[in-house]
Amino acid sequence: MGLKSLAEQAQILLRSRLCNPNFIFSIFSNSPDSNYSKLKYMISSSVTEACNNSVLLLGPRGCGKVPVLELVLEDLLKEYPDMISVIKLNGFLHSDHNCALKEISRQLCLEHQLLFSKMASFDDNAQFMVSMLRECGLAHKTILFILDEFDLFAQGKQLLLYSLLDAMQSVTSQAVVIGISCRLDADQLLEKRVRSRFSHRKLLFLPPSREDLQRLLEHILLLPTNSSFPHEYVAAFNDKLLKIFTDDKFKETVDSLTYCDSTVNHLLRFLFSAVSHMDLKSGLLSLENFKGALSTIQRQPKVEALKDCSILELYILVCMKRLEAKEQELRNFNSIMKEYKSIHDTFPTSDYYARNVCLRAFEHLLQRELISFEDNRGHGQSTEFRPVKLLISWPELYQGLKSYHSCPLILHKIMDREG
């Protein structure tokens, strides 16, 4: 097997790993302190002890709440194949209590091979759910109700949550309600009558720590030694990766990646881009692959928008940034023109334009949404007098000027001095 063919096989393996949440989060399943272990213990004890329970999985989007739950369910369904029934609802689709109860009835009928009636009323579906909870409890079977986007179920009268939790108060019922939400205050949205029936158990999902990030990188990218790949290729591939992981430039790249978004999903998109651009001739991942992936995933539309700006528009943006640095409260077209004249007086150049030309450039920046009016008031007021604000940050403006092909040196000097 040639080197290029080996590299293609390795690329396929790594991509399949990155698209398999069960593989990604399985690394945390061995730790007794992980959310996987805590959630599995809670559900399995509810199943074996024939009791009711409820729990909320809370954390930012992309931190692994759903994949960890799916991993737990997969393991439990193998351990207790005839003792668990899973009902899944999503707040975006089923937040209306009538629609939700109908969906619960449909999934219960499908699970237990019963005939589902689309014409059943809300009361009929509610009564059917209660009777199924009783029957499953008598058969020592636990129903798991998974409510994704839980906070949407907590809006309005919360009839579904009340009906569900109230039915679980029966001695014969066996059920576990698992709510999933990105709102950390999801339990505070519950009405008093619903909150009194909820267990208030919460599992918090956070972005991975630096140590967990290192473990994830090695878990995902290192090739297995006990595989069909030649030992020499695996050794060379893994040695190169381990050297990259210890490189300060790679650490800077990862820090830049996690600065604005440190979730696992963001990391996976970054790694998928790096793996997709792997050099098939060498058959190895390189530091350049990761740097290229970072620039791909961190597209900055406002920096790119600066490339289409005129030099006069760049002057106006720099003037606004100087006014911000001076903490001048009133920033409108007139104050920008004063700052523009001040720059021209300090650094005499040929880049000095008439006021009406500057006004057209100013209006163009408003259309491009690089600047905007402070508020919606003053529609009858002239554009020149309405307060405006800058919609591009200092790092974005600085980076945009650096990448602008014909940016005047004066603007570079001003930005360097302001920085």
pLDDT band of residue 379 (cuts 50, 70, 90) is low
φ/ψ of residue 144, rounded to 5: -100, 115
Each residue's pLDDT tens digit, 74-127: 999 999 988 999 999 999 988 888 888 999 999 989 988 888 888 888 888 888
Each residue's pLDDT tens digit, 243-286: 999 999 999 999 888 877 888 998 999 999 999 999 888 889 99
Q: 31-204 architecture in CATH?
A: 3-Layer(aba) Sandwich (3.40)
Residue 209 to residues 64, 65, 164, 215: CA-CA distances in angstroms? 14, 16, 37, 10
β-sheet bridge partners, residue 179: 56, 147
Residue range(s) of every CATH 3.40.50.300 domain in the chain: 31-204
CA neighbor of 56 nearest in space, from 212, 138, 161, 135: 161
Tell whether the model's pLDDT for residue 384 goes beyond 60.
yes
Please answer whether residues 337 and 354 qualify as being in contact, where contact means their C-beta atoms are separated by less than 8 angstroms: no
CA neighbor of 143 nearest in space, from 115, 168, 170, 169: 168
Tell whether the model's pLDDT for residue 393 goes beyond 70.
yes
Mean pLDDT of the chain: 87
Please give the helix or strand (H or E) that residue 204 lies within, else none.
strand 201-204
pLDDT band of residue 343 (cuts 50, 70, 90) is confident
pLDDT band of residue 179 (cuts 50, 70, 90) is very high
> What does the DSSP 8-state code read for residue 353?
-
Please answer whether residues 71 and 27 qualify as being in contact, where contact means their C-beta atoms are separated by less than 8 angstroms: no
Residue range(s) of every CATH 1.10.10.10 domain in the chain: 303-418
Residue 88 confidence (pLDDT): 94
What is the arithmetic mean of pLDDT over 364-375?
Answer: 86
Residue 69 confidence (pLDDT): 94
Each residue's pLDDT tens digit, 196-235: 888 888 999 988 888 889 999 999 999 998 878 888 999 9
| CATH number of the domain located at residue range(s) 303-418 in this protein | 1.10.10.10
Q: Check: pTM over 0.85? Answer yes or no.
A: no
Each residue's pLDDT tens digit, 290-307: 998 888 887 677 777 888
What is the arithmetic mean of pLDDT over 4-11?
Answer: 88
Residue 418 confidence (pLDDT): 66
β-sheet bridge partners, residue 86: 144
Each residue's pLDDT tens digit, 37-69: 999 999 999 999 888 899 999 999 888 899 999
Question: Edge-to-edge strands of the sheet including 53-58?
Answer: 84-90, 142-148, 175-181, 53-58, 201-204
